[in-house]
Amino acid sequence: MREVALVLPWKRALGAGLLIASLHAGVSAAEPDMEAGRALFVGATPACAICHTLNDAQSSGAIGPKLDEIKPDAARVATAIRNGIGQMPAYTSLSDQEIEVLAAYVAKATGGQP
């Protein structure tokens, strides 16, 4: 039941994040689009920022691990976003491209592998 409560309000609020990301469509994955990634990090619902500390996004969430400390590579971030992990919900409504942008952003911002 907790899952439903998280997912429904999120779908309604997703529009803004999708719009921001689509404006940046076409940016190559080689050079992460930090602006779009940051916007998704704080703008996806539920926002990554409410659960995670990430200095680049000025977030101090403490439910999930500090991303600056675990320095995940992009593949690890993408897997967590797609499938969820522990208390973290799966973000089934993000497009592959949005997940790619977000994963590349988190990896680069924390110094993890691309």
Virtual torsion, Cα 90, 96, 102, 105, nearest 10 deg:
140
Q: How far out from the chain centre does Cα 6 lie? A: 15
Residue from 21, 88, 101, 109 in contact with ligand HEC (CB under 6 A): 88
From the CB of residue 73, how many other CB atoms can be counted at a distance below 10 Å?
A: 15
Q: Which residue in 21, 39, 102, 109 binds ligand HEC (CB under 6 A)?
A: 102
> Which residues are within 8 A (CB) of 56 and not within 5 positions of it... i.e. 6 or more apart?
34, 38, 109, 110
Between 6 and 27, CB nearer to ligand HEC: 6
Residue 23 near residue 7, CB atoms below 8 Å: no
**Per rule CB under 6 A, is residue 86 in the interface with ligand HEC?**
yes
Report, in Å, the least distance between residue 36 CB and ligand HEC.
13
Phi, psi (degrees; rounded to nearest 5) at 91:
-95, 80
Q: Which of 21, 57, 74, 81 binds ligand HEC (CB under 6 A)?
A: 81
Q: Which of 52, 57, 74, 104 binds ligand HEC (CB under 6 A)?
A: 52
Per CB under 6 A, residues contacting ligand HEC are: 44, 46, 48, 50-52, 63-65, 72, 76-77, 80-81, 85-88, 91, 102, 106
